[in-house]
Amino acid sequence: MRLSALLGCTVRDRDGVRVGVVHDVRLVADGPAYGSGRPSYRLAALVCGPVAAFQRLGYGREDLTGPALLDWLFTLLARHSRLVEWDLVGGVTGSVLHLRVTRGELPLLRGRTTRAARRAARAERRR
């Protein structure tokens, strides 16, 4: 399987609701070891959402912030982007990935942009 076969695929949840398009793939180095003994990169999650530009610029990363205006803009564009664990993919039909969960159960790409996280940050600042 090629990575390009995944990029651009439409993702639909358990109820058939469109989650978005696969813009990126997250790898984690904890797979079976290569011949050299190093851990292989395992396909851990898919980054799905309506807009890809911010992702390619690096604004999907939690550790990348600012300039403030760009951060605000890309956060706004990324507000519907979700992280889909590979284990949640139930099946593939052509270029459509079907999930085993509903859209609401998927975590947002940038957790700190969720309303709850912003509320927690505001409460923290007040203290």
Partner 1 sequence: MRETPRGGQQPPDRPAWDEPVLDVAQLLLDRQIIDVDGLPVAKVDDLELACPPGGGPPVVTAILYGPAALGPRIGGRLGAWWVAVGRRFRPVSDVAAPSIPFDAVAELSTTRLRLSVPVEDMAADKFSDWLREKVVFRLPWGRR
Contact 60, 78 (CB under 8 A): yes
The position carrying tokens 């709850």 is: 116
Q: Would you say 70 or 121 has its CB closer to partner 1?
A: 70
* Shortest CB 32 distance to partner 1, Å: 5
Q: How many CA atoms does the CB half-sphere of 15 hold within 13 Å?
A: 6
Question: Binding of partner 1 at residue 63 (CB under 8 A)?
Answer: no
* Shortest CB 7 distance to partner 1, Å: 7
* Shortest CB 19 distance to partner 1, Å: 17
Q: Which helix (H) or strand (E) holds 86?
A: none
Q: Which helix (H) or strand (E) holds 74?
A: helix 68-77
Site string for partner 1, 79-108 (x = CB under 8 A): -------xx---------------------
Question: Binding of partner 1 at residue 4 (CB under 8 A)?
Answer: yes
Tokens read off for 95:
């270029």
